[in-house]
Amino acid sequence: MDKLHKAIGSPMDQPDISVIHIAGSNGKGSVALKTANTLRLADYKVGLFVSPHISSFRERIQINGEPLSEAQVEKYLKEIYDICEEQEIPATFFEVTTALAFRAFAQEGVEVVVLETGLGGRLDATNVIKHPALSIITSIGLEHTRILGDTVELIALEKGGIIKEGRPVLVGNNVPFETLKQCAEEKKASQIYQCEDLLGPEEEQIMIEGKETFEDYDAENSKISKAGLILLQFHLAEQTFDTDKTLKIILPDTIDAGVKIRPPCRFEEMDIKVDEKNVRVILDVAHNPQAIDYLIAKLRANYPTANQRIVVGMSADKDLKYCTNILLDYVSDPSKLHLVEASHPRAASISSILEANPKLSDSHYEVPQADDLNKDGRDVSSVSTQVQKALKLATENNEMLVVCGSVFIMADARETLGIVEPRDSAVIAEVAGAGMRNSQENFSDSKKN
């Protein structure tokens, strides 16, 4: 990735582009979107790079809130492919996508780039940047333990790999602060900040049933975004001091308006009409224990008396037993759960979910069949079928429907619910985010790696 970034001119290290680099177990995508949206409202030309996507690959690379056009993807992707072939760079799908974003942002004259890591931080493809304006670490939880480490402290050190010498770092509340403080000192960061250092003391948290503390993660993500934008303005002021550029002040009202945005499938609420009845549906990509715990707390806080039915699909690298036990404890009855399997290389199979948690044997599920495909080559027997079934039962039983888990189930779920949006072909969906070095991802003839 370092070689590829240099080959395209090291665009993210150019002095006229400011980069905000964001890592974290949960919240990094939301913080990235809130930050980019605020900068757009403040009249900056801003590039946003996030992953994975919900329905269309082009969601990953946005300029001023709009995904790259198909024509732009074709143009810049060809340039990246040619460089990989000419210089024998064995880049993976994610590395090529990252380089595509960097190339597009530079060529389209972006002023500020908001950059979300893909996995971890220290060895992430995005971490080739040398001088970010600001690094942000949103939260630390147990995730990807086989890759990042089996304690929050070890995972924090991997995420802390985005901290750079002479640059500030901002951390959220849900991190092992002392570990990251030591990491920042060792990397000679200019300063490590917490949100209260910039925003003042926290407000009181919401109590559920007088005993459980509920922390609204969207409010936490908004706080992190606000604090980050305050820090960023110091950098932008320094950047324009010795130039003829005019500093664009980011006003408090602009920040308040900008951070209200939420990404799709982050406690996304909608009403779906079925047989003249409205069914409240919530889509949420809660995919690890920390996020699922939050989802349940949010449901209890917002809908304390509602009966709920849940459709869930997971990625294979998650703690399937623990995650499904959280959901099972919440609904009590396994028949209120619908298990689905995304048509994606990283999806957990129905059989692996049942093996991990035999208590789910009385749930609703169907094992996808290889020949059960729609005209686009996508499986229709799992996600689509179970969402339809769950929606019908929710209507009959006066229940809410919650669709949660892996991002890989959401495109099929949204399409089944009648949401019309750009959608990838089955081939792109299969390759995107697979995370494997195989022939589909390798864009050179090199056998070295």
* 263 falls within a domain: no
Total count of domains within the chain: 2
Q: Are residues 254 and 305 located together in one domain of the fold?
A: no
Q: What's the CATH code of the domain at 336?
A: 3.90.190.20
Cβ proximity of 269 and 281 under 8 Å: yes
Last residue within a domain, chosen from 205, 239, 258: 258
CB 432 within 8 A of CB 92: no
Statement to judge: residues 286 and 235 lie in one domain: no
Q: Which residues of the chain have pLDDT under 50?
A: 207-212, 378-379, 433-449
Residue type, 383: V
- Alpha-helical segments (H) within 332-404: 350-356, 383-397
State residue 381's pLDDT score.
Answer: 54
CA atoms of 286 and 92, how far apart (whole Å): 26
Residue 32 lies in a domain: yes
**448 within a domain of the structure (yes/no):** no
Q: What is the CATH number of the domain that holds 240?
A: 3.40.1190.10
**289/249 same-domain check:** no
Instruction: Give me the domain span that covers residue 203.
Output: 2-258
Q: Are 417 and 387 in contact (CB under 8 A)?
A: yes
- Residue 333 counted as domain residue: yes
* Beta pairing class for 308-313 and 277-284: unpaired
Q: 3-state DSSP call for residue 138?
A: strand
| pLDDT of the residue at 298 | 92
Characterize 66-99 residue by residue with b for buried, 16 or more Cβ atoms within 10 angstroms of its Cβ, and e for exposed.
ebbeeebbeebbeebeebbeeeebbbbbbbbbbb
Same domain (yes/no): 369, 277:
yes
pLDDT digits (tens, 9 = 90+) for 293-323: 989 999 999 999 999 999 999 988 788 999 9
> 226 and 152 share a domain?
yes
One domain, residues 251 and 306: no
Residue 331 lies in a domain: yes
Whether 163 and 287 map to the same domain: the answer is no
Do residue 347 and residue 247 come from a single domain? Answer: no
- 43 and 117 housed in the same domain: yes
Q: What is the reported pLDDT for 442?
A: 36
Q: What is the pLDDT of residue 447?
A: 38
Q: What is the pLDDT of residues 419-433, one digit of tens each?
A: 988 777 665 655 554
Pairing of β 277-284 and β 268-274: antiparallel
**Site of tokens 């009249």:** 43
Residues 13, 59 share a domain: yes
Residue 428's closest CA among 447, 408, 445? 408
272 occurs within a structural domain? yes
Would you state the pLDDT for residue 166?
96
